[in-house]
Amino acid sequence: MVKLLVAMGALAALGGVATAQGPVDDVVKISVNWSAGRNPLKTTPTLQVVVNPLLRRGASIHDVAFANLKGLGAEYVRYVQWHPYPRLAVAELEAPTKDKTSWDFSLIDPMTIDFLDATEGHERILNFSTIPAWMYNAKKTVDVPADPDRVTWDYTQGKDLRDPSCKQLADYYARLVSWYTQGGFTDELGVRHESGNHYKIPYWEVFNEIDVEHQPTPAQYTASYDAVVGSLHAIDPAMKFVGLALAFPERNPEMMWYFLDHRNHKLGIPLDMISYHFYGSPTREQTLEDWQYSFFDQADKFLVAVRYIEDIRRRLSPDTRTTLDEVGSILPTDWHPDTPYDPGPPIPAMYWNASAALYAYVYLETAKMGIDVVGESQLVGFPSQFPSVTMLDWTTGAPNARFEVLRLLHDHLRPGATLVETKLIPKDVDALAFEDGGGRHLLLVNKRNRVLKTELPEEFDGGTRWVVDADHSTAKPEALRGRGLPLAAFSVTVVDARSPH
């Protein structure tokens, strides 16, 4: 026994030495069963656009930001008028009196119209998530900065609406939507306000991150959803609706169960789509070497929640679709509300590739589940919000790796493709095979901050690769020679087979 223990100790010591020298990666062998049963690829990659001073006309990157958005041509882009900028998000900042109303779109219209013009001809989701503060019973007085570009984090006060019937709330959204779709509206005093706008809004999302903002109960949220949807559906019967937009879906199973049960809604209220969010976030003590594990471990936990939610949805409302309309990562150094315009510590260049790989990984795994839409967050994330979520450089407007990976997925994974059985040990690399009219393809994601070696199926020898990594800021076609394909750190790659079949 003593000899055995000594031998085991020696082996443990040797193992410690091997680990200290760094991991030794075997070649990841990938095989595809092209003759197996197929599922259609139904998952659309997209992004969200959040109201931000840098997206206002005249801002330094306004033109290039909207040009990038229009050039991408994505479907289901989500537009959110968020509460940190009340003057850019709320059309009626003061409660109406018997003598006057405060309706004012002068600051809201330019950015909103630029978004609508940039996404014209595509499905899009609008979300004026910020409810006027005067509609709530709140102990704290809300002060709105005179400067529309000045951030405030205290606008969403109170949990209970002053009008529990939700009519006041529904009327506000009916007038707001009419401003953009019906040419104008009549206000509370009977005064007509003309806009001349006749845009189409295919989808309207009812509020944002309700588990953080105002925190209604499941019954309260469902009642407000029904009131708003009923009012907007009367204006445009073709409009569809998105509900929930939960920040922490894994913490709110009761909300899912209650909302997706049609018995809890008024007759005729549609449940077209639900939404919820995911952000990977490391601790302040962690470095880039740690992030590669934190991000993807957290993503795996989120994917468990997605499977659970999908089971609830299929049981209660199988015709309801799902959009994961905020997927990304946030560094802990972003949050400094006392100095909101300080960008904080420099963000390592490799972070953008790590975050891009995280989004691609969530897309890849949820595509296997048949999730309908996966939206990356967000087009511009600085100043004053979260710099690490941005997809464009906030000084130049140039796309970073997060935008370029979205472009790669958008350009190569299109509706009409079919998903094919892919086999590998998905530890550090993940893969998804798909086939379309252009041939056979593989999506590959390197989850680690080091080069990993892969061996592709024979049909990819002589094919083409498209990659975004630290050395490839944009994806361009490159010829493959041989089946061995090294994947750079945090790379996202699409590989085309050498022939269509």
Task: Report how far residue 174's alpha carbon sits from residue 176's, in angstroms, rounded to the nearest whole number.
Answer: 5
The amino acid sitting at 139 is K
Q: So what's the pLDDT on residue 26?
A: 85
Residue 393, both tokens: 């450089």
The pLDDT of residue 23 is 54
Successive 10-residue mean pLDDT values, the chain, 501 residues = 40 34 72 94 98 96 98 98 94 96 98 98 97 92 91 91 96 98 98 97 97 94 98 97 96 95 98 98 93 96 97 98 97 86 88 98 97 97 89 96 98 94 91 95 97 96 97 96 95 90 55
Rg (CA), the chain: 25
Distances (CA, A) of 499 to 325, 440, 464: 35, 8, 10
> What percent helix, strand, coil does the chain show, rounded to 5?
35, 20, 45
- H or E element in which residue 355 lies: helix 349-369
For the record, the structure tokens of 83 come out as 């509460």
Spatial CA neighbour of 309 closest among 365, 271, 264, 255: 255
Scanning 245-327, the segments in alpha helix (DSSP H) are 253-260, 288-316
Dihedrals φ, ψ of 204, to 5°? -120, 125
Give the DSSP H/E element, type plus range, for residue 215: none
- Dihedrals phi, psi of 280, to nearest 5 degrees: -80, 140
pTM: 0.93
Contacts of 117 (CB under 8 A, 6+ apart): 70
- Give residue 393's identity as a one-letter amino acid code: D
User: What CA–CA distances, in Å, run from 18 to 12, 22, 23?
Assistant: 10, 7, 8
Q: What are phi and psi of 400, to 5 degrees?
A: -100, -175
Q: Which of 268, 251, 269, 271 is nearest to 260 (CA)?
A: 271
| Residue 416 to residues 34, 75, 362, 457, 460, Cα–Cα distance (Å) | 16, 15, 20, 23, 21
Q: For the packed helices 288-316 and 349-369, what is the interaxial angle rounded to 10 degrees?
A: 20
pLDDT of residue 500: 57
pLDDT score for 14:
34
Residues 6+ apart with CB under 8 A from 159: 136, 137, 214, 215, 216
Count, in order, helices (H) and strands (E) of the chain.
10, 23
Nearest to 81 by CA among 57, 105, 62: 105
Q: Where are the alpha helices (DSSP H) in 30-119?
A: 62-72, 86-89, 109-118
